């Protein structure tokens, strides 16, 4: 079901899944192009979560998705404030994927569940590398030091991103204070509470889905939410 949420900067869209009562999860999606590549997977995950009796919300962050605000005007603080407006409105658990952990990890919640969390520095580094790879094909070049200079938003992975937003993200880490559960793919060398089989959809050139992985993660998330309670 399509719904909306209000924050200090206006009104944004969100998707709602699952029952009207019981525990609620608010999910922070990956950032920038990774959000597009994993959108179908994220929806599949939350639909599977609903089959476990857990409701969920998938909000569009300001400047993303159906938002009427241009990304060029958005700050990292806007994202956290907008997301927090949901988690402060009712007791809920936060789930987050990849760069979304930088947003979902810094708001009030009953508990946090992170899948393949990544640092803000890694998010910006991946964006920079993608720009540099694209520029090599056209015979141009991009200097990552431009991020530290004042100027117009920088075009990275199809998005015009404010330099201040990039700098803020680069300095951000997800808060993993307990209660927090971290799940990663098998083969990921970073520490986690649990590892699952699967492929990193965010690395594919095109958007994709993995229903089996969505079912696996939904079962793990539902179990975590019920252990943490309301």
- 99 and 25: one domain? yes
Q: pLDDT-based confidence at 109, cuts 50/70/90?
A: very high
Look at residues 67, 12, 26, 31 and name the one whose alpha carbon lies nearest to residue 168: 31
Q: From CA 34, how far away is CA 106, in angstroms rounded?
A: 20
- 52 and 105: one domain? yes
- 129 and 89: one domain? no
Q: From CA 187, how far away is CA 116, in angstroms rounded?
A: 11
Is it the case that residue 141 has pLDDT exceeding 90?
no
Is it the case that residue 157 has pLDDT exceeding 90?
no
- 6 and 91: one domain? yes
Q: Residue 34 sits in a domain of what CATH number? A: 3.40.50.1820
Q: What are phi and psi of 3, to 5 degrees?
A: -135, -170
Contact 29, 114 (CB under 8 A): no
Spatial CB neighbours of 136, under 8 Å, sequence gap ≥ 6: none
Sign of CA pseudo-dihedral 212, 213, 216, 221? negative
- 133 and 85: one domain? no
Is it the case that residue 103 has pLDDT exceeding 70?
yes
Average pLDDT over residues 65-94: 95
- 177 and 205: one domain? yes
Look at residues 175, 149, 171, 202 and name the one whose alpha carbon lies nearest to residue 75: 171
| Confidence (pTM) | 0.95
How many domains is the chain partitioned into structurally? 2
Q: pLDDT-based confidence at 230, cuts 50/70/90?
A: low
Token pair of 164, please? 């201040």
Average pLDDT over residues 106-122: 96
- 135 and 184: one domain? no
Is it the case that residue 200 has pLDDT exceeding 70?
yes
- 32 and 108: one domain? yes
- 153 and 131: one domain? yes
Domain assignment of residue 184, given as a range: 2-119+173-228
DSSP state of 104: H
**Strand, coil or helix: 10:** strand
Residues 4-41: b if buried by 16+ CB within 10 A, e if exposed: ebebebeebebbbbbeeeebbbbbbbbbbbbbbbbbbb
**Strand, coil or helix: 127:** helix
- 177 and 82: one domain? yes
């Amino acid at each position: 079901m399509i719904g909306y949420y209000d924050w200090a900067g206006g009104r944004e869209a969100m998707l709602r899944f699952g029952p009207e009562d019981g525990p609620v999860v608010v999910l922070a999606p990956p950032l920038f192009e990774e959000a597009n590549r994993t959108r179908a997977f994220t929806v599949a995950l939350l639909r599977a979560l609903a089959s476990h009796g857990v409701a969920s919300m998938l909000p569009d962050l300001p400047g993303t998705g159906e938002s009427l605000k241009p990304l060029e005007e958005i700050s990292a603080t806007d994202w956290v404030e907008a997301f927090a407006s949901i988690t402060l409105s009712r007791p809920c658990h936060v789930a987050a994927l990849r760069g979304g952990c930088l947003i979902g990890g810094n708001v009030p919640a009953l508990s946090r569940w992170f899948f393949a969390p990544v640092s803000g520095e890694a998010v910006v580094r991946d964006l920079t590398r993608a720009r540099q790879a694209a520029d090599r094909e056209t015979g141009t070049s991009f200097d990552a030091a431009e991020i530290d200079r004042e100027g117009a938003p920088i075009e990275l992975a199809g998005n015009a991103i404010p330099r201040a937003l990039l700098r803020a993200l680069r300095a951000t880490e997800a808060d993993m204070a307990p209660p927090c559960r971290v799940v990663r793919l098998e083969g990921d060398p970073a520490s986690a509470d649990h590892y699952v089989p699967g492929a990193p959809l965010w690395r594919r050139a095109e958007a994709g889905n993995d229903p089996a992985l969505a079912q696996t993660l939904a079962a793990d998330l539902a179990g975590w939410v019920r252990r943490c309670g309301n």
